[in-house]
């Protein structure tokens, strides 16, 4: 494909993305949820609109023809997770790693090399992932629950939770594929960052949710906010409601490792 042809194809992708963004995202407003734990779009987009977007336009607009095998973020997160594997290896009984919103699945490749069975959850399918035949791939958590449903040992969600349609339903599904020993590694944009759309009063297309640290303190029994390698076995032995210090090497990012979605968490009223 010639340079001009690629540029024209990129132009068409961006125009299609802009039309969709104007129709589904840009006319909405960002409000603080009544729980006080996050901000969200009001009203939220419909599930079928988001399904259409993430199955086609999202990757075309933000990735184009680029399909990296690995990124710096993959390497950073893998090093962080590897520290927790060392600390809690005896609790990782099934050796299953689930990548929620897998995309190019760079970290999935690294986890497979460490001996984990890898489950990729990606609405666009597994076509963007090199060596995809080595993994089990599903379009959604619901599909995984219906077709397999085993409890996973490590649940990884990097810059994916802010894209979901309904956070209540998402947490219910997370509970179904995890145990109290499951380690959750989550990274999202910080909704309290001065440059975040929630603070600027604008939509960060295509984010539907804008989280505070308080949200993650509320949903996990034990949690650690981190920016570097874990340094001791006490990291997951603290109450979620505690005053946990947090510094990040990445401006505007919340990065945490939690265990056990709190069965007493009643903010949404429907989680059981």
Determine, yes or no, domain membership for 196.
Answer: yes
**pLDDT tens-digit readout, 39-49:** 999 999 999 98
User: What are the beta bridge partners of residue 118?
Assistant: 97
pLDDT of residue 20: 77
Q: Are residue 121 and residue 242 in the same domain, yes or no?
A: yes
pLDDT at 210: 97
Kindly state whether residues 55 and 78 are assigned to the same domain.
no
The reply to whether 10 and 92 lie within a common domain is no
The one-character DSSP state at 57 is: I
Residues 225 and 100 reside in one and the same domain = yes
pLDDT given at position 247: 40
* 243 shares a domain with 117: yes
Residue 271 falls inside a structural domain: no
Position 266 confidence tier, pLDDT thresholds 50, 70, 90: low
Question: Reading across the β-sheet that carries 183-189, which strands appear in turn?
Answer: 136-138, 117-121, 96-100, 154-158, 183-189, 253-261, 220-225
Q: How confident is the model over 199-251, as pLDDT tens digits?
A: 999 999 899 999 999 999 999 988 888 754 444 434 443 333 233 333 433 45
- Please provide the distance, in angstroms rounded to a whole number, between the alpha carbons at the two ends of the chain: 53
- If asked whether residues 39 and 80 sit together in one domain, one would say no
Of 202, 192, 263, 265, nearest to 225 by C-alpha is 192
Going by their DSSP bridges, the two strands 117-121 and 136-138 should be labelled as: parallel
Is residue 179 in some structural domain? yes
**Where does a domain end: 41, 62, 83?**
62
Same-domain check for residues 106 and 230:
yes
CATH number of the domain at 196, please. 3.40.50.150
The string of pLDDT tens digits covering residues 145-194 is 999 999 999 999 999 999 999 998 999 999 999 999 999 999 999 999 88
Q: Are residues 18 and 112 in the same domain?
A: no
Residue 272 forms part of a structural domain: no
Question: Residue 269: inside a domain, yes or no?
Answer: no
Report yes or no on 125 lying in a domain.
Answer: yes
Residues 217 and 83 in one domain: yes
Residues 76 and 58 in one domain: no
Which of 27, 42, 62 represents a domain boundary (last residue)? 62
Residue 24's domain comprises 3-62
pLDDT of residue 127 exceeding 50, the answer is no
Left, alpha or beta for 131 (phi > 0: left; psi -120 to 50: alpha)? Answer: left
Domain boundary among the residues 42, 62, 82 is at: 62
Two tokens, residue 162: 């802010």
Task: Answer yes or no: do 48 and 136 share one domain.
Answer: no
Number of domains in the chain: 2
The pLDDT of residue 197 is above 90: yes
The verdict on residue 268 lying in a domain is no
Q: Do 144 and 80 belong together in one domain?
A: yes
65-92 pLDDT tens trace:
566 778 888 998 999 899 899 888 888 8
Q: Would you say residue 92 lies in a domain?
A: yes
């Amino acid at each position: 494909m010639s340079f001009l042809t690629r540029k024209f194809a990129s132009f068409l992708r961006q125009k299609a993305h802009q039309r969709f963004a104007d129709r589904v995202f840009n006319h909405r407003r960002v409000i603080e949820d009544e729980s006080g734990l996050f901000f969200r779009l009001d009203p939220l987009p419909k599930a079928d609109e988001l399904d259409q977007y993430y199955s086609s336009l999202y990757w075309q607009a933000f990735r184009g023809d680029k399909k990296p095998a690995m990124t710096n973020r993959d390497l950073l997160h893998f090093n962080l997770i590897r520290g927790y594997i060392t600390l809690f290896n005896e609790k990782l009984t099934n050796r299953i790693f689930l990548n929620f919103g897998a995309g190019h699945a760079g970290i999935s490749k690294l986890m497979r090399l460490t001996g984990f069975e890898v489950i990729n959850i990606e609405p666009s399918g597994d076509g963007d992932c090199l060596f995809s035949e080595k993994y089990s791939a599903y379009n959604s958590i619901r599909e995984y629950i219906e077709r397999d449903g085993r409890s996973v040992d490590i649940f990884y969600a990097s810059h994916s939770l802010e894209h979901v349609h309904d956070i209540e339903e998402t947490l219910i599904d997370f509970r179904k594929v995890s145990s109290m020993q499951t380690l959750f590694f989550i990274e999202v944009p910080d909704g309290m960052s001065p440059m975040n759309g929630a603070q600027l009063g604008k939509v960060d297309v295509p984010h539907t949710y804008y989280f505070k640290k308080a949200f993650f303190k509320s949903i996990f029994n034990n949690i650690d906010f981190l920016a570097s390698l874990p340094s001791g076995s006490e990291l997951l032995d603290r109450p979620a409601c505690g005053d946990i210090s947090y510094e990040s090497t990445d401006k505007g990012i919340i990065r945490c490792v939690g265990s056990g979605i709190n069965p007493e968490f009643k903010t949404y009223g429907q989680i059981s």
